[in-house]
Amino acid sequence: MSLHQPASGVAGDGRGRWSLRHELIGLSGVVERNLYLVKRYIWWDIAFFVWTVANTLSIVFIARGIEASGGTIDVNRAATSLLIGAVIWAYLGVIFEIMTETVAWERWEGTIEYTFMAPLSRSVHLFGMGAFALLYGMARALLLFAVCAFFFDLSIPDADFGAALVVLAVASVSFVGLGIVTAVLPLISPEKGSQLGFVAQGLLLVVSGVYYPVEVLPRWMQWLATVSPATYALDGIRDAILVGDPLTAMGDELWPLVVIGVVAVPVGLAVFRRGERYAKQHGKLKRSG
Amino acid sequence: MPSPQPSSDPFEIPRPAQVPAIELIGVRKVFRRRERAHGRFSPRRRVAALDGVSFRVERGETVAVLGQNGSGKSTLVRVLSTLLLPDGGTARVFGHDVLTQPAVVRRLVNRVSVEASFFKKMSAAENLSYAARFHGLTSGRTRAGIPEILERVGFPADRRSEPMENLSRGMQQKVALARALLTAPVLLLLDEPTTGLDPRSKREVQAFVKEMRAMHDATILLCTHDLDEAEALADRIGVLDRGRLLVLGTVDELNRRYGAQTLEVAFFAATGREFGEETDPDDDREVFA
């Protein structure tokens, strides 16, 4: 027995009747698989989350620390700004990491060959990883924000959370695109690829104004900040939450994010396809670990 | 040869009866490798994993390819699985070129290799579930189907939710066969499927392979270094040595050609080496082939 039904017709183009519906089922399979992995590695997730909470708290307490050591600062505003930076970075960082580890994790588990010979287009495979990363990252960021906000008596009466979420959603597309670009690194360099992904992530962290305005950076780093989607995401979300800017006032942030997203996703897919071809030419799709 | 049942083609891809299941014409695959002994800056040398391999496998046939470690068996399977791009020659699966129509080929092929290729923490049911999605099967189809298929391969019902890492290798290979059956491949590539199994598990896996072939319209390419297994399962046997296919025929034809009484003697006569003898001066070959 098998679960496939007998053929009822033959497509004439030689490509068969593999449809968009099949691809969407395949995409749901990628999400399903990652949910199983979260369930099976739940203690890893808990430990990682606790570390992220501790890290976020230690950053946000800096605002109080400055005041306690005699500095003049609007503690509420600074703490909120740092919290937004830490939470948004945790969210975008998770998306980036999941995308970057698309290949590395499969290689480590020994499933890479099975996945790459499955009848699933690579774009659907990668979009499936992106969809899971968005779901997982969002759930984690909301929980992180709730836990950390509990430690601070934050006052954000003007916040426009709707506008902040729209900016975050648009920025997520760009990050998925950049993640796809870095996902290729473990494909072409099994030993060093993941580490190079962390280098790229670290670079974005430094230049994007996660914990400080990008204006404090040297000029050449400010130029790099203009091509980082995180810069615009953080600007927009801070404006929405701290100042209460509505979506209509977010043009300066949304347009660059849309442009980066529109460019990053197809470029990411093209880079990944080239990387996959290189890996298949040089026998680098084998398992390791 | 058992008479197969009508096709249960999952994706309705044309497979005219007159087209061979596998057709290889002068397939070459060369890897470039540095001499380990001469350091990391030494010039790369070329290692031929497949050297002009040509043969056909007819639909419904089982062909075994015998060869020692490093002979090129796994490279051959990877080329047919679209995991490796050949450097020259032509490889077709049911008339579809692996280089220009990989997506179509992937819908026709499944593979069971020496490594079970599962997510180790996930259960058998979870691994089968997401794999089914990759092949376009909805949860409605797999909810009842997966337990049935696992039962069919003799997998205990009470262990379906146990992580794969807790299962014996024999049990893992049964799950691998169940996964192949789940997706109804019309070409099944078996890459040393019983290596490392205890005698009982080996017999069970071999019996199941025979059953799959008898009950489905499946063509099987078995790569092995187990002479008895090749003799028991295959209609024809080929000998692959240092990337070259030396001979392909029935056991009787091989024995007649080399004036041998047994397959082992015929293999020795064909390769000029004892089976299991590790005298290949090219120790890097095994890394790839």
How crowded is residue B200: how many other Cβ atoms within 10 Å of its Cβ? 9
Greater confidence (A4 vs B127) lies with B127
Which residue of B83, B103, B118 is in closest CB contact with A119?
A: B103
What's at A242, amino acid-wise? L
Q: How many domains does chain A have?
A: 1
Q: Does position A62 have pLDDT exceeding 60, yes or no?
A: yes
Q: How far apart are CA B99 and CA B188, in angstroms?
A: 19
Contacts of A37 in chain B (CB under 8 A): 119, 121-122
DSSP one-letter code for A1: -
Q: Does position A1 have pLDDT exceeding 80, yes or no?
A: no
Contacts of A1 in chain B (CB under 8 A): 145, 148-149, 152, 181, 215
Q: Residue A207 domain-assigned? A: yes
Which residues of chain B register pLDDT less than 70?
Answer: 1-17, 34-41, 274-289
pLDDT digits (tens, 9 = 90+) for B188-216: 999 988 887 888 888 888 888 888 787 77
Q: Are strands B44-57 and B219-224 parallel, antiparallel or unpaired?
A: unpaired
Q: How far apart are CA A276 and CA A207, in angstroms?
A: 30
CB pairs under 8 A between A and B: 169
Residues A245-257, mean pLDDT to the nearest whole number: 93
Give me the sheet containing B62-66, strands edge to edge.
Answer: B109-113, B187-191, B219-224, B62-66, B236-241, B244-249
Q: Is A174 helix (H, G, I), strand (E, B) or coil?
A: helix
Q: Is A8 helix (H, G, I), strand (E, B) or coil?
A: coil
Tell me if chain A has a CB within 8 Å of the CB of B7. yes
Contacts of B288 in chain A (CB under 8 A): 283
pLDDT digits (tens, 9 = 90+) for A160-211: 999 999 999 999 999 999 899 888 888 888 777 778 878 888 898 999 999 9
Tell me if chain A has a CB within 8 Å of the CB of B107. yes
Q: Which residues lie closer than 8 Å to B253 by C-beta, 6 or more apart? A: none
Whether ipTM > 0.90 holds is no
Share of chain A above pLDDT 70, in %: 93
Contact criterion met (CB below 8 Å) for A22 and B103:
no
Best mutation target, B9, B50, B105, B119, to test chain A (most A CBs within 10 A): B119
Going by CATH, does the domain composed of B22-288 fall within 3.30.200.20? no
Give the per-residue pLDDT at A192.
Answer: 78
Helix pair A75-109, A42-68: axis angle to 10 deg? 150
Q: Which residues lie closer than 8 Å to B152 by C-beta, 6 or more apart? A: A1, B178, B181
pLDDT digits (tens, 9 = 90+) for A73-128: 888 889 999 999 999 999 988 988 898 888 888 888 889 999 999 999 999 999 99
| H or E element, residue A271 | helix A251-282
Which residue of B122, B137, B183 is in closest CB contact with A37?
A: B122
What is the nearest CA distance from B242 to chain A, expressed in angstroms?
17
Q: Does position A214 have pLDDT exceeding 60, yes or no?
A: yes
Q: Residue A56 domain-assigned? A: yes
Is there a contact between B8 and A109 if contact means CB atoms under 8 Å apart? no
Contacts of B175 in chain A (CB under 8 A): none
C-alpha of A94 from chain center: 5
Is there a contact between B83 and A285 if contact means CB atoms under 8 Å apart? yes
Nearest CA among B211, B195, B85 for reference residue B220: B211
Length of chain A: 289
Q: Which residues lie closer than 8 Å to B32 by C-beta, 6 or more apart? A: B44, B45, B46, B47
Q: Which domain holds residue A97?
A: 41-282
Give the per-residue pLDDT at B283.
Answer: 46
Contacts of A123 in chain B (CB under 8 A): none
What is the nearest CA distance from A116 to chain B, expressed in angstroms?
7
Torsion of the alpha carbons at B66, B71, B73 and B74, rounded to the nearest 10: 150
Give the per-residue pLDDT at B282.
Answer: 47
Contacts of B133 in chain A (CB under 8 A): 25-26, 28-30, 32
Give the per-residue pLDDT at B56.
Answer: 96
Contacts of B100 in chain A (CB under 8 A): none
Q: Is A71 helix (H, G, I), strand (E, B) or coil?
A: coil
Nearest CA among A151, A61, A108, A96 for reference residue A264: A96
Beta strands in B120-243, from DSSP E residues, in sequence order = 187-191, 219-224, 236-241
B177: nearest CA in chain A? A2
Contact criterion met (CB below 8 Å) for B62 and B222:
yes
Window 76-95 of B, Cβ < 8 Å to A: 78, 81-85
